[in-house]
Structure 1
Amino acid sequence: MADEEATAAEVVEKLESLEDSVDSPDEQQKARRIRRLGEGLYHLEQQALGNVERRIQRYTSRDVVESFVGSTVFSIPLLVEGGVGEIGEHFATGLVYGVPVYLLGNVAFVVAVTAGLLYYAEFREVELTYVFGFVPRRLAAVLVISFCSAALTMAMWGRLNPTQPFLSLCQVSVVWTAGSFGAGLGDILPGQSEGRDLSEVV
């Protein structure tokens, strides 16, 4: 079994090297599909053998839905709390030389903790892939989905003041803090989702 796993890992590694070695976008796309086909076949083999596949590689439309549901479940309890407005006011008025330091600190906190949850907490082994060459794809998706979920639910429930957009943004960021954790957990806890990778669809 160990030799079979090592051989499969070597095949995937060689396919990744092939993908990196080709130049034209069309050839890269073909090499990427071949690599993912090999990974998918290995995944099916491991399922048939009764082994649990912990590594998450694809990011599919199902992952988007799981992140949205997880974010909504975590953020809805905050919508009925008056503390969201108070913390949002603290973010909006806590300025140092005109810079909203508490808001920026909260954003940095959310990004750092969500990244740790996805890539370092070891709930699952998550493959690190990038968009634009440097932005972690799954992290960016989880943060954007959870922020949109927080803004949408707060708008629907009448918790935003359109005459004070910056204050509303600060209040959304409070709900986003909890929502991002829920989105991350909703994404990775179920394991690797079935379906096509979004990079192949878009």
Structure 2
Amino acid sequence: MGDLFDELAELEDSVDSHEERERVRETMRMAMEVQDSEVFGRVVFGFDRSDAAEALLGSLLFGIPMFVEGGTEEVGQFIADRPHYFLLTNALTVALVVGILYVADFQDVRVHNPLLGFIPRKFAGVLAIPLVTAVVVMTAWGRVDWADPWLAVCQVAVALVPMAIGAALGDLLPG
């Protein structure tokens, strides 16, 4: 099935008209529907409402402990005093999400119709949902003080690490 999707993606890039491209996309959708109904091992692409809901649930499951524990604030203070650790924390978050989505092979995740031509929708969604969730919940629960924006951003970055892991797992594991 993976080879079929590779060939259809190549065909989609090579066709000339919008109608032909749409026919290839329809063929890809039909192939998705007829593949086995196993939870794991399916080819997945795109990012829709159900993916967003799964990512939100995963990010909350991994994030709520981060919101109620003081360690998130302490680690945020630590990295606020060391900007290179802030960069490393964010690089770790991105690397973990890429690893879970595209390397760990839970599912055969394909990039389809990327944002701006190069950002995979699933990757962007799995990072954006926990980020927005962390900012909203940590602000609403008084876990960050935006009077010191740098410290608040660092504390959100700390909470984002496990939340992004939860979002990626939540999106992929249900199937």
Short-chain TM bin: 0.7 to 0.9
Tell whether 2:103 aligns with 1:120. yes
Tell me how far apart the structure 1 counterparts of residues 127 and 163 of structure 2 sit (CA, whole Å).
Answer: 9
- CA 1:83–1:14: 2 relative to 1, 3 Å: closer
Deviation at 1:188, TM superposition (A): 0.3
- CA 1:16–1:78: 2 relative to 1, 3 Å: closer
2:173 alignment partner in structure 1? 189
Q: Secondary structure at the match of 1:134?
A: coil
Question: Which ranges in structure 1 are unaligned for 5 or more consecutive residues?
Answer: 95-99, 192-202
Q: Of the candidates 109, 113, 120, which is equivalent to residue 92 of structure 2?
A: 109
1:73 alignment partner in structure 2? 61
| Count of residue pairs brought into register by the alignment | 173
For residues 140-190 of structure 1, the C-alpha deviation after alignment (integer angstroms, 9 at most, x for no partner) is: 210111111111110111112121111111101111111001001100001
Deviation at 1:19, TM superposition (A): 1.7
Q: Secondary structure at the match of 1:135?
A: coil
Q: Secondary structure at the match of 1:57?
A: strand
Matches within 5 A, 1:1-202: 10=4, 12=5, 15-25=8-18, 27-37=20-30, 39-43=31-35, 46-47=36-37, 54-58=41-45, 59-94=47-82, 100-129=83-112, 130-191=114-175
Tell me how far apart the structure 1 counterparts of residues 7 and 23 of structure 2 sit (CA, whole Å).
Answer: 14
Conservation of the 8 A alpha-carbon contact between 2:40 and 2:173: no
Conservation of the 8 A alpha-carbon contact between 1:55 and 1:127: no
Cα RMSD between the aligned structures?
A: 2.2
Q: Secondary structure at the match of 1:122?
A: coil
Question: Which ranges in structure 2 are unaligned for 5 or more consecutive residues?
Answer: none
Conservation of the 8 A alpha-carbon contact between 2:40 and 2:107: no
Conservation of the 8 A alpha-carbon contact between 2:39 and 2:174: no
Q: TM-score, normalised by structure 2?
A: 0.86
User: Which of structures 1 and 2 has the bigger CA Rg?
Assistant: 1
